Amino acid sequence: MKKNIAIIENNIVSTNTMRQKLTLELMSSGYNVFVLTTGNKKDLQIAKDNGIKVIDIKSSNINPVHIFLYLKNIKKALKENNAEVCLTFTMRPAIWGNFITSKLEIPTITNITGVGPLFSSKNPAYIVARLMYKFVLKNTERIFFQNNDDMNLFLTNNFIVKEKAGLIPGSGIDHQYFKPRIKSETNSTFIFLFIGRLLKDKGVIEFVEAARAFKKMNLDAEFRIVGPLWNQNLKKNTITKDELNSWVTEKIITYLGSADDVRPHIANADCIVLPSYREGTSNVLLEASSMERPSITCNTTGCREIIEDGITGLLCNVADTKHLIEKMKEMISFSPEKRMEMGKKARIKVIKEFDKQFVIDTYLETIKTITASNN
């Protein structure tokens, strides 16, 4: 008899992109899979068209009423679909999802996709998150981390026991899907590309300030942004529509909207720029590297593990616009052959160290072990 597996995600976009292959392989391995998440109608339909059962549980913020409804929706979906194993990703599902699965005694595998300002912020929301993490992870069957720094933080703060922790290389990279492509555009302007949710801790402000500086210096470069405005974070971390429109009006960036498929954008870029303050393991950097594009990113957790300074890209200081500009100038000064060499080395590295199949196999083996022990 097929086992029922629930996946709780923040947004269906993650299911359609970085975790699509995992979800589909679980289904092809004989599991009944259903995804508890939310998203717009278009993205939800994409998942359904791929044969994935999706239950829209909406979202939650710090509003107690929204949290209550979110918990109620999770509990109802898990019970009605007789979930036997649950996978949770990102902070909100990991906290509230694990809270419910613990009550229902459903074995749960949690992926800590990154910690952001979890341990440093004095914001009440993060203080509550710290308290909740410590409580809900006690009953979690297995906790995967995407880098050593995050795992050590959870161990040091006694959020978890070492026996339950494991390391995986992020969501991994499907290097056959993200293959090198030749540019389809023929203009000679150097293109810097930022891909990501429009959040301040992704470094989008520093990217825009660098674009503004380049414009003032009359340097021949175009700064492009691909990614959605995002309202599922604290307001002080989000970029508003008005801010985005002002950058476009100022003609310092080209905004290309969000994209179901980022490969054409990566292919037409000369360099990907992600000045993120911290990541779990950056999917953007994995994708760019797999497509043989050099990247500029910050010397921080979840980024420096992928990009080797001077070899596969360049590293800059966190939240340091001046240093970012220096690195961008350096990247432009390289010959096309030098950047091509960096890109090739980047692809070799991520194929060797971040293969998505390793992540999928780890999940399949862990689920097999859990279901066997619960029979």
Rounded to whole angstroms, the Cα distance separating 181 from 26 reads: 30
CATH fold of the domain at 190-353: Rossmann fold (3.40.50)
* Number of other residues whose CB lies within 10 A of the CB of residue 184: 8
Give 246's Cβ-side CA count (13 Å radius).
9
Q: pLDDT-derived band of residue 186, with 50, 70 and 90 as boundaries?
A: confident
| Contact by Cβ (8 Å): 209, 239 | no
Rounded to whole angstroms, the Cα distance separating 124 from 313 reads: 37
Distance between terminal CA atoms of the chain? 12
Kind and range of the H or E run holding 266: helix 263-267
Kind and range of the H or E run holding 89: strand 85-89
- The crossing angle, in degrees rounded to 10, of helices 356-373 and 20-28 is 50
State pLDDT tens for residues 50-74. 999 999 999 887 788 999 999 999 9
Kind and range of the H or E run holding 345: helix 336-353
Structure tokens at 347: 């692809």
145 φ, ψ (degrees, to nearest 5): -115, 155
Rg (CA), the chain: 21
pLDDT at 353: 97
The closest of 88, 63, 127 to 9, measured between CA atoms, is 88
Distance of CA 211 to the CA centre of its chain: 24
| Contact by Cβ (8 Å): 222, 192 | yes
Taking 90 as the threshold, does the pLDDT of residue 366 lie above it?
yes
Q: If you count them, how many residues does the chain have?
A: 375
State pLDDT tens for residues 198-244. 999 999 999 999 999 999 999 999 999 999 998 766 678 889 999 99
Structure tokens at 41: 């109608």
- Can you point out the beta strands (E) in the chain? 4-8, 32-37, 53-56, 85-89, 108-112, 142-145, 165-167, 190-195, 221-226, 254-255, 271-274, 295-298, 313-316
Structure tokens at 209: 């300030």
pLDDT at 180: 97
pLDDT at 126: 82
Structure tokens at 328: 């961008």
361 φ, ψ (degrees, to nearest 5): -60, -35
CATH fold of the domain at 4-172+355-373: Rossmann fold (3.40.50)
Burial 284-296 (b: 16+ CB within 10 A, else e): bbbbbbbbbbbbb
The closest of 41, 36, 78 to 57, measured between CA atoms, is 36
Taking 70 as the threshold, does the pLDDT of residue 28 lie above it?
yes
The pTM (predicted TM-score) of the whole model is 0.93
State pLDDT tens for residues 116-162. 878 877 888 888 888 899 899 999 999 999 999 999 999 999 999 99
pLDDT at 375: 64
The closest of 287, 298, 274, 263 to 346, measured between CA atoms, is 287
3-state secondary structure at position 183: coil
* Number of other residues whose CB lies within 10 A of the CB of residue 41: 8
Kind and range of the H or E run holding 349: helix 336-353
Q: Which part of the chain is CATH 3.40.50.2000?
A: 4-172+355-373, 190-353
pLDDT at 124: 82
**Residue 278: C-alpha distances to residues 33, 39, 92, 168, 300 (Å):** 31, 25, 18, 17, 6
